[in-house]
A and B are shown apart, each in its own frame.
Chain A
C-alpha cells in the first residue's frame, strides 16, 4: 500500500477515477481542454460509451483497490445518445448509493453528474468539487482490501 494512504496529511492527494460517457461528458472534458480551463489533476478518465455501461462492480472494484473517489458522468437527463442509458444509470446508482451508505462508505466518495458536450466550464467545476469533497473525506478505507 502507498504511504499516502496511511495518513491524510497535507501532502496527500486523492486518487480519483472518472467514468465519462463518450458523447457528452467525455466531449465536455475535451472542450475543457480546448478552452484551457484548468482543474485539479487527481482524476483518471475511463471512457465508456454510455454512463449506462458503468457496472456497479467497477465502482466497488475501484474502492476496494484503494481509489479514493469515483465520479460517473453522463449526458443530461433526456439527452442521452442512447435515449435512456443515463436513466438506467441513474436508477442503478440510486440503489448503489444506498448500498454504500449501508456499508459505511462516506457520502461524496462516489458521485454522479450530468455534463453535456458544451459544458466545459461545468466539467471543470464538477471535477474541482469532487476532488475537494474527497480531499475533505481523506483516503478511502472502508472497502479497501488489505492486500499486504
Chain B
C-alpha cells in the first residue's frame, strides 16, 4: 500500500521480464505487460461490473475454496486497486460474446476488452529480484490423499479458512459436510525434509503450524489439535516462547512420530492416522480433518526468469547466493531478497529486502537523486474562523471489525454527533482507493477534521494523515478510534458490548477532533554522518554499507580489536572461510576513506535526536565528541558461559567455540576425539534462558563433521531436543547422520546426567529409541552453549531503546520493522537483535544501513508537531517544568516580563511531563491538549450509553 502511494515507485503489475540487455549500471529491461482488460487509471474499483459478470471461476487467492467472478480484484489490499479480467474464463475472450461488464461501466469506460499486451522498455542501473516462492503441491505426496480425500487440506487453505475475511469468515470447515471439525491433525514436513520431493527444510512451517493451531484454538477452544512432527523448528526470534505457549497454555499436542499411513474412512469422511512414535510403538488415531503443512518451493517462474537474466539458481532451484553475500546474485548489479533466495519468514524477508536495497543503492550512489520525482505539495487550507466540519470513516476491515461489531449502527450513531457532517462505512479504510475517496469527500463536503474508526493509530495514523494532507488539511486535524485491536479483536464473543465500546470510542474521538487545531510542521536538517556502535561483523558490514553508499560514518568498538565473535569462527558448514571474511572486512573498514574507526571506545553520553545526535565517548583518558545523524546498534552478544555439566570443573568439558578453535588450530591429540559427546541447548530453551539460540545445532553438526573428517573412526554423539538445521542446512544434518554421528534426543524430563568418576567423565542419558539409559565415557564433552545477550542495559538507557525479556534489543515491529527502533534514527543489527548465523547477520547489517541511509541521503527530517507550548500569560516561572524535563527541552528565561518558561521544539519529544505537572496549567501539548483529553473523558463519562 505504502509503495503504491510512493511517487518514486512505479508498479507494473501483471508483467514479466522478456529480455535484459546492457550491463550493470545501465541495464535495458524489456517488460511484457499482459492485458488486464481494465484501464487501471480509470477504474475506481467500485465493483458494479462484478455483479454483471456472469462467469465464475475458482478464487486463487482463497485457495480455490470458493469461486470468484472472472472479473475480480485478487485481494482487498491489492495494488493497483483496480479490477482485472481472467482471459481464460472471460466469455468475450473465449467466445467473443457477453460484454456485460462494458455496459456496466459505460460511464467510466474503464473496461477495455480489446486491450493488447504492451512491451515496455525500461532503463535501470540495478535490479532486485523478489519473486517469492510457490507452495508445494501436496498432490505429489499421493499417500496423504490430498485432492482425493475431502477433509485433507493444506495449511495454506487452513490459513484462508481462519481468516476472518476468508471464504468461511474465519470458521474452520470440513469440505465434505461443511461441519466444524472437533479433532484436527497437522502433518509437518510435507514437501520438506523429504528426499522424494524437497530435501531442504522450508524453515517456516513449524512456526506457521503452531500459529494456525493456536488461532484455531482461539476460534473454538474445544477443538482438539495434534501436530505430528520430526523436529519442531521454531528458531526465529520470539518463536520458541510461542511454541511453549502452544503446548502449555493452549494444550496443543505435539507428537514426534513417523507417519505410516493416512487412510480415509468413507462413512464419516474422517481420517485414520497410523503412526510410529520414537519408542517404536505403533498407534492409530482418528481425526475429523488433516492439515498438511506444505513446504516452500522455488517460484514456478524462477527458471525462466533466471535464464532471461543470466542469474544462476542453486540445485534446489532457488537463487544462488554465497553465505557471505546473501543478497547478491552472480550478476553484477542484480540483487535478491526474500524467499527466492531461500525459504524464509516475514522478518527475514523484510531484512533481506532492505539489505538488497543497501547494495543497489551503494551501486548507484554516484547518480543518486538524478531521476527522482518530487512530490507536489498541496497548500494547506486556511481554516481560520471555520467551525469544525467532521467526516467520520468507520472501517469494516473485511470482517475483522464488521464480523463482531455492528458497523452500520455505529455509523448511524456517529451521524448524530455534533459537528459530524459526514459519516460512512468503508470495507477497508486503508485501501488505496479509499484514500482517494477520503480526499474526494473532504473536498465535496468541505471537511476540516477527519476521524477514522479502524485499527491502531500506531501503524495507520501516518497513512491517513498523509491522505488528508494531500487534500489540503493539516496532518493534525486527524484522529483515530481503535475499534479493531482494542475492540472487535478482543471482544470477539461479545458483539453487543463491542458495538457499544466502538460507539463510545468514536464519540470520544469525535469530541477530541472538534478541538483539534492545525499545527505547524518543521523540518530539521540532518548531519549526513552515521554512528555505528560495535565493531563485530554486523557493525563492520553496516559501516561499509553506509560508506559504500557515499556516507561518512564513525565506528566505535569497545575492545582493542575489530571482529567480535567472528574472530572465533574458523570454518562454516558450506565450506567458506570466515577468517578470510574477517581479514577482508577489517581491511576494507580500516582503509575506507569514509569510515573512521575508534577502538577501546567507551560511550559516555548520547544526546539529541534523529538528524542531530551528539555522542561523547572516551578512549583511555581522552574524551571526544562527535555529531551525527543516525545510530546503528551492533553491539553483538556472547557465548553463554555454562553453569551446568561440570563446565569449569573438568577440563574435558568445553564449549563449541573452544572445540572449533582446537580443531582449527590443531590443538588436540588424537585421543581427545575418540568419543565426543555434544549436549545441545545449554543455556537455550531452559527455564532461565527460554529462547532458542538458532545457531548451535548447525554449529554442533559443523564441528561433528569436522571431527569425522579428521578422525573417521571417532564416535560422536549429539544429545539434542530438536535439531534445527533449517533451510539448506538440512543437507548437513543428513550428511552427519550418514557419516554415523549418533543423535540421541532428550527432553526436560530426561536431561543428561554428567558425572566425574575417578577423574573420568561419565554421561548418562535416556535413549528414547532403545527405551533405556545409556552410559558414555567421553574423551571430550562439548556443550553447545547458547547466545547470551550480555548486559545491554546501559546502551539501552543511553539510547532510550527497549530490550526484550531475554535482554536482546527489541525492534519497532517484530515482523515489519525488524531493524528499526521505535526511536527515530536508531537502528539495530546482528546478535544484539537476536541470535543468528553469519548470512543473516550480514543481511541485517546491510538492512540497518539501508534504513539509516534514508534520512542521511534525504538531508532533512520532519519534526512531529507534538512539542510543548507555554502560555506565557499563565506561566509564573516556577521552573518545575525545567527541572522535570528529561531532555532539557524547556527552559525558564528571564526578561523584562519576568521569568517565563520557553519550549525548545526541535528537541522536545512531546512526553507532556511538564504539562501534567505545571501548577498553573500553562503548558499544553501539540496533539494532546488538556482540553482534548478532558473532552474525551467527558464524552465517555457524561454520556448515557443507551445504544
Q: Which residues of A contact B (CB under 8 A)?
A: 2, 15, 17, 22-23, 26-27, 29-30, 32-34, 36-39, 41, 44-50, 52-58, 61-62, 65-67, 78-79, 81-85, 88-89, 92, 116-118, 124
Contacts of B494 in A (CB 8 A): 41
CB-based contact B485/A30 at 8 Å: yes
Q: A30-B456, A81-B822 are in contact. Are A46 and B936 (CB under 8 A)?
A: yes
Tell me which residues across on chain B come within 8 A of A82, comparing CB atoms: 800, 886-887, 909, 911, 913
* Closest Cβ–Cβ distance, residue B8 to chain A (whole Å): 30
Q: How many residues of B contact A (CB 8 A)?
A: 58
User: A39–B803 Cα gap in the complex (Å)?
Assistant: 26
Are A65 and B800 in contact, with the CB atoms below 8 A?
no
Report yes or no: B492 in contact with A38, Cβ–Cβ below 8 A: yes
Given the known interface contacts A52-B912, A55-B915, A92-B916, the answer about A22 and B458 at a Cβ–Cβ threshold of 8 Å is yes
- Residues of chain A within 8 A (CB-CB) of B485 are 29-30, 32-34
Does B378 lie at the interface of the complex (its beta carbon under 8 Å from any beta carbon of A)?
no
Contact check: which of B486, B504, B928, B937 meets A29 at CB < 8 Å? Answer: B486
Known: A79-B802, A85-B886. Is A30-B941 also a contact (CB below 8 A)?
no
Q: Identify the 5 closest CB pairs spanning chains A and B, nearest first.
A: A33-B485, A53-B912, A82-B911, A65-B941, A41-B497
Q: Are A65 and B937 in contact (CB under 8 A)?
A: yes
Tell me the chain B residues, 174-209 only, with Cβ under 8 Å from chain A: none
In angstroms, how far is the closest chain A Cβ from the Cβ of B818?
15
Q: Provide the residues of chain A in CB contact with B693, threshold 8 Å.
A: none
Q: B215 at the A/B interface (Cβ < 8 Å)?
A: yes
Q: Which of B498, B797, B940 contacts A44 (CB 8 A)?
A: B940
| Closest CB in chain A relative to B802 CB, distance in Å | 6
Interface flags, B336-363, vs A, CB<8A=1, else 0: 0000000000000000000000000000
Answer yes or no: B482 CB below 8 A from chain A CBs: yes
Quick check: A44 and B505 within 8 Å, CB to CB? yes
Cβ contacts A to B, 17 pairs, < 8 Å: A17-B941, A29-B485, A30-B486, A33-B484, A36-B218, A41-B491, A41-B498, A46-B508, A52-B911, A52-B912, A57-B934, A82-B886, A84-B884, A85-B912, A85-B913, A92-B917, A117-B802
Most buried by A among B501, B912, B928, B934: B912
A44 and B942 contacting across the interface, CB-CB below 8 Å:
no
Residues of B within 8 A of A55 (CB): 915-916, 930, 933
Q: Is the CB of B937 within 8 A of A27?
A: no
Contacts A17-B937, A85-B886, A88-B884 given; does A33 touch B911 at CB 8 Å: no
Q: Tell me, yes or no, whether B47 is within 8 Å of chain A by CB.
A: no
Q: Per-position contact with A for B923-947: 1 when CB-CB < 8 Å, else 0?
A: 0010010100110111011101100
Which residues of A have CB within 8 Å of B805?
118
> Of A36, A46, A47, which contacts B457 at CB under 8 A?
A47
In the complex, which residues of chain A have a beta carbon less than 8 angstroms from the beta carbon of B803?
79
Knowing that A26-B458, A88-B884 touch, tell me 10 more A-B residue pairs with CB under 8 angstroms: A22-B458, A30-B458, A33-B484, A41-B498, A53-B925, A55-B930, A58-B933, A62-B937, A82-B913, A92-B916
* Bound complex: CA A53 to CA B932 (Å): 13
With both beta carbons as reference points, the residue of chain A lying nearest to B508 in the complex is identified as A44
Q: Which residue of A has the minimal Cβ distance to B942?
A: A65
Contact indicator per residue, chain B 387-425, by CB within 8 Å of chain A (1) or not (0): 000000000000000000000000000000000000000
Contacts of A17 in B (CB 8 A): 937, 940-941
Please name the residue on chain B nearest to A19 by beta carbon: B933
A54 adjacent to B916 (CB under 8 Å): yes
B804 near A: Cβ within 8 Å? yes
A85 to B911, CA, bound (A): 7
- Separation of A32 and B456 alpha carbons in the complex (Å): 12
Q: Which residues of B contact A88 (CB under 8 A)?
A: 884, 913, 916-917
Name which residue of chain A comes closest to B823, CB basis: A81
Q: A30-B486, A33-B486, A38-B492 are in contact. Are A52 and B916 (CB under 8 A)?
A: yes
- Contact across chains for B800 and A81 when beta carbons are under 8 A apart: yes
Q: Bound state CA distance, A66 and B945, in angstroms?
A: 13
B489 within 8 A of A: yes
Question: How long is the Cα–Cα vector from A96 to B588 in the complex, in angstroms?
Answer: 59
B457 pairs with A38, CB closer than 8 A: no
Q: Is B910 an interface residue (CB 8 A)?
A: yes
Pair B928/A49 contact, Cβ less than 8 Å = yes
| Shortest CB distance A44–B (Å) | 5
- Decide yes or no: A15 and B940 within 8 Å by CB, A22-B458, A44-B505 being known contacts: yes
